[in-house]
Structure 1
């Protein structure tokens, strides 16, 4: 660190096993999923819900989150490329000349992940005849921690960083350039952890009846408002965003914010119970 500037040049790869790279980004995903599971498990235990229900739900969510995040990136941010290279959508490889190289899944969109989780929960809820909003309230609490850790993974990858700062502070991502930039990965991670704390507080004060949809509404409104604002300081991820007034992340956040407000207003008559 020098004069308020942190020079960042972390190798994204921790080590490799038999030529298979183990990266901080993958570790962040694994830790995020693990912590979310433990948090929701504690909630299930508190409410005396069989853990077998959570294990089944977790399988649905894992599949939905990954497929949604991957497809979201491919179709929201780079549709032309992936329509021309469909194999790369589901396989962590890239064609280089006549050969294929392992590159990992470079590109997972949080908005797509949210859509995938919602669809997975919808399928699970219909199959098990469980209240979908009840499930989503509890999953929302754990999801904030997962999102925060994924942004730490982005930091370790020196990706999804911010626009240049005044030059007196910030992160210099040396793997790309020598310009001090907003560490937007940290902005998002800290915001999500604060939201996690608030959701836990709401959950502790709410009852099973009054929490249906309320926690989810607060999550959607705060999470995607934070995302919308932080996008102002973030470099665009793909070239076509340069000509847009709002970038793709902001556009996709607006419906989530509106839905969150609708869910909160729908439950406004219960807010008095949280005082």
Structure 2
């Protein structure tokens, strides 16, 4: 197809608005949307669980949990990017590791960070770890969707070159038609995963089953979306022609399947 027949990314300033010397960026707003969605959905989910006679959190505990989660996302996401994607670079430029404002966050690192935060919070609450992650799992995908929308607005993490009819040109990157992979991830690991988990968690499930569904769902959606996403230029494709994101997603899928099988071997539903 001729270049002019493809969609053109609507180049948007990364700054949403300014208040005096303060510039509020779209990506920062997406984080805010994610945190607000977590709090609001958490309250609805808690009421739903309470109506089922299932142990749950109150509003203050949900807010406290969000604080733990934010720390896990930021610290884990940054350290994950440093260790998974650019260990050699940051070994030589270790002073740049805290510079999250310069870009570089890893979902899989943030995921591990949140698991650590959940372990600490569960110990404080005297809850089972997987009981807590079951509560959290349905609250996460809309935040992921907001993050991918931020990636799209910023024209970052672009897709691979393609000639599909819905290909999009990102002028700030180059003039090649590419998969709008950010929107694939927005739809898959964001909206579709949310719908799946919100439906699945409506009924009492064995402890760890909802967490397992999150691992399986996210891992599969991310693995598929990576076929349309441009690999990081400093890594390229790895063994088997797979990207780093795909290799990091495979253990999530395997762990989720194992957890689901073990969860359903338990007697009874979640407490």
Alignment of 1:95-134 (within 5 A): 104-134=101-131
Q: Distance in 2 between matches of 1:167 and 1:265?
A: 39
Matched-pair contact (CA < 8 Å) for 1:68–1:113: yes
Unaligned ranges ≥5, structure 2 = 51-56
1:235 aligns with 2:235: no
The equivalent position to 1:261 in structure 2, one of 254, 257, 262, is: 257
1:44 aligns with 2:40: no
Matched-pair contact (CA < 8 Å) for 1:45–1:51: no
Q: Distance in 2 between matches of 1:6 and 1:270?
A: 52
Q: Normalising to structure 1: TM-score of the pair? A: 0.87
Residue 243 of structure 1: CA displacement? 5.3
Matched-pair contact (CA < 8 Å) for 2:216–2:252: yes
Moved over 6 A (4+): 270-273
Q: Distance in 1 between matches of 2:145 and 2:9?
A: 22
Residue 184 of structure 1: CA displacement? 0.6
1:201 aligns with 2:199: yes
Matched-pair contact (CA < 8 Å) for 2:39–2:63: no
1:211–1:51 CA distance, 2 compared to 1 (3 A): farther
- Cα shift readout 1:236-259 (whole Å, capped 9, x = no counterpart): 123223454222111111111111
Q: Distance in 2 between matches of 1:73 and 1:32?
A: 20
Residue 234 of structure 1: CA displacement? 0.9
Residue 133 of structure 1: CA displacement? 1.2
Paired position in structure 2 for 1:250:
246
Q: Distance in 2 between matches of 1:238 and 1:82?
A: 16
Q: Distance in 1 between matches of 2:162 and 2:140?
A: 30
Q: Distance in 1 between matches of 2:172 and 2:206?
A: 45
Deviation larger for 228-237 or 16-25: 16-25
The structure whose residues are more often strand, as a share, is 1
Residue 90 of structure 1: CA displacement? 1.4
Deviation larger for 82-91 or 25-34: 82-91
Alignment of 1:1-275 (within 5 A): 3-48=5-50, 49-92=57-100, 104-166=101-163, 168-191=165-188, 192-204=190-202, 206-207=203-204, 210-242=205-237, 244=239, 245-268=241-264
Residue 30 of structure 1: CA displacement? 1.0
Matched-pair contact (CA < 8 Å) for 1:151–1:186: yes
- Cα shift readout 1:92-124 (whole Å, capped 9, x = no counterpart): 4xxxxxxxxxxx240111001100000110111
Q: Distance in 2 between matches of 1:242 and 1:249?
A: 10
Other structure's SS at 1:169 match? coil
Q: Count residues with an aligned counterpart.
A: 259
What value does the CA root-mean-square deviation take over the aligned residues? Answer: 2.2
Residue 15 of structure 1: CA displacement? 2.9
1:272–1:124 CA distance, 2 compared to 1 (3 A): closer
Matched-pair contact (CA < 8 Å) for 1:145–1:193: yes
